[in-house]
Chains A and B, each alone.
Chain A
């Protein structure tokens, strides 16, 4: 009989996915650190392309990494101005709701198989996921679609004209990228024959990676992801030279950080979803290393999506919508057909 120490017990409870995933990894704390590193990396990559150094004044030895901490501190201590004509409750609640809802899909996305610690096997139904549901693909997409509502609500509460224009753009785009995300994700579900993400990764380990089976679907998902999280070339909602910063025009200080973080975290969550659906998630590892590997793949996708800033400008809203409905929608249908062929091929 092996004795379990109190420390093991505590670690067990910390490592429970119900707490660990949303709060520590890859949830709030990790994604906040990642947010800083991503913005730093975005600035550094763009600087490399654009013949500059990027942030370098603070901590030049590590390439100005602490610049973002300094910026964060500056924002934290700056005054939060609430406009007299804003709807105060929603104005203050909005950014927090935006950030928390953009993290929300993590509770149903499995990031690894269950983790072995000491004598414990930590996980739900063999997956390292806070809530195991066998329709986790639908649940994750549905939860990710809460954020546009928060954006529109926030914009309305600030009572600014640029914010309202930005919110309208978000509303138009929301309808578009939701359809594309669902169609590309479902075309993968057709190959697998189910909507369970955990099962889908296991399916990929015994067959091929999702991106190899259906690259069209992966492309559509990536474009829809860029549309949905307002990254270049679809940085339409926050277009600074047109509508200042769209729905978040009136925000300052800490609330501004929350709104800005919300959009980056949304990209990160979509990247995790992309890595699980198309890149095999934790494969070829499992357990704790698997969870790290899922997030590692997601970070690559995240860095790719922020890198596009240095290649593209931004499309106009009507061009983005036209492209999405005329080209991307068609590609999504083709990817579905491709998936049916795969399904037929696999079953036969």
Chain B
């Protein structure tokens, strides 16, 4: 009954090898289970579970496995070059990651965004929210062994990724939002494709309800698992759908409207239960709300420019003629790389798919930001995950993990 960890004894002699180690810690009955980072249910993260029998007594998260020092890289790149960089932490939610950064830069530069561009930003963001939520629901499905939800989630995400591809030219790393507007205009074919995709998913939602949400097996796995009360959720600083599943109607789109959200009709789904199932339902309903918003935007989007006049005037007329007037695309000339916002700092908040995303950008007047700070929603989940996993079973760890929709690269940045 020796209970020391394998790492403590790298060199073992032949005598010791003959004995088979038992995992119980001496005198405690507590064992340590090292889940990840290379594990089918851990994502890019290491979870150290201290277990007694099947019960998790303590769960320690060890994030940082996919840390790419995005914040530090931001201090060494030009403002324009940061657009593709800041979306890398959450490539499946890149519109939001982009928009937050650009909104902060626009505040420093005091740039107005044309109405049409605001609508387009909302459009892209909601399409992105749907694809991101379906991704998260799919991951939750496979975490509790439901492979059909996994495959459906990923398959039905595809039309929405396709919309983004038709709109922006890229499937996931869109770099769509630029200072003063957006990069491409909404064409008639994209509109038609979006309408088709929305009507397809609206039909498909019923299938989701039948096979996943009303499946007794799924309900048994998710109901009353990982419950976070309203008070606890506020105390732990939860954000986004997870907060709304605990009964707090907080959404940046409502409280501090950005883009075109002031003009859009939408509700924010709120559930009181605070368990894994409520979090799943919130995501599912947000998908439906996003679909409504997409339809509304397609109907109501005003005509006009898609880039601020101040910026547009700085683009050479040949480029405007070739790209903007013919193809409705903004192609910046190379000198935009050395764009110098004035001295100052700005903070911006957007409601990303996983919750509130905060950017703080400090400019010292040069073409490189002095500091870019991003507070990502997944980062806010580390502490709650550790707290609520206590007392649950080993099998609940993936269920809680999936229901929180934690995205390790987003937390690690």
Contacts and interface: CB of A to CB of B under 8 A. Distances in A.
Contacts of A296: none
Interface in B8-29: 12, 17, 20-21, 23
Contact of A314 (B20, B21, B51, B144): B144
A242 interface: yes
Given A161-B31, A244-B39, A314-B144, A85 B21 contact: yes
B33 A162 contact: yes
Interface string B130-149: 00000000000111111111
Contacts of B393: 316-318
A205 B6 CA distance: 61
Contacts of B148: 46, 49-50, 310-311
B396 interface: yes
B60 to A, nearest CB: 16
B395 interface: yes
B300 interface: no
B155 interface: yes
Contacts of B23: 161, 164
Given A161-B33, A310-B147, A311-B211, A242 B398 contact: yes
B216 to A, nearest CB: 9
A50 B155 contact: yes
B40 A240 contact: yes
B151 A165 contact: no
Nearest to A158: B20
Contacts of B346: none
Interface size class of B (residues with CB under 8 A): 35 or more
A241 B211 contact: no
A243 B394 contact: yes
Interface residues of A, number: 38
A239 interface: yes
A322 to B, nearest CB: 10
B314 interface: no
A308 to B, nearest CB: 10
Interface string A66-87: 0000000000000000001111
B152 A312 contact: no
A168 B395 CA distance: 13
A251 interface: no
Contact of A316 (B17, B215, B396): B396
Given A161-B23, A233-B217, A85 B17 contact: yes
Nearest to B9: A85
A241 B398 contact: yes
A241 B41 contact: yes
A46 B221 contact: no
Contacts of B144: 241, 313-314
B147 A46 contact: yes
A315 B147 contact: no
B54 interface: yes
A159 B221 contact: no
A329 interface: no
B380 interface: no
Interface string A44-63: 00100111100000000000
A84 B9 CA distance: 13
A242 B42 CA distance: 9
A87 B20 contact: yes
A314 B148 CA distance: 12
A55 to B, nearest CB: 14
A241 B40 contact: yes
Interface string B388-406: 0000011111100000000
A337 to B, nearest CB: 26
A170 to B, nearest CB: 13
A315 B219 CA distance: 10
Contacts of B152: 50-51
Interface in B171-222: 211, 215, 217-218, 220-221
B33 A314 contact: no
B20 A165 contact: no
Contact of B54 (A51, A162, A317): A317
Nearest to B212: A313
Contact of A242 (B149, B211, B395): B395
A156 interface: yes
A343 interface: no
A327 to B, nearest CB: 12
B31 A316 contact: no
Contacts of A309: 147
Contacts of B6: 85
Contacts of A240: 40-41
Contact of A52 (B143, B155, B215): B155
Nearest to B6: A85
A152 interface: no
B54 to A, nearest CB: 7
A196 interface: no
B262 to A, nearest CB: 38
Interface string B49-81: 001001000000000000000000000000000
19 contacts: A50-B147, A52-B151, A85-B12, A157-B20, A165-B33, A165-B394, A240-B41, A241-B41, A242-B397, A310-B148, A311-B215, A312-B146, A313-B141, A314-B395, A315-B221, A316-B221, A317-B393, A317-B395, A318-B393
Given A165-B33, A314-B221, 4 more contacts: A46-B147, A161-B32, A241-B41, A242-B397
In the A-B complex, the 7 residue pairs with the smallest Cβ-Cβ separation, listed nearest first, are A241-B41, A50-B151, A314-B145, A313-B146, A313-B145, A313-B144, A316-B395
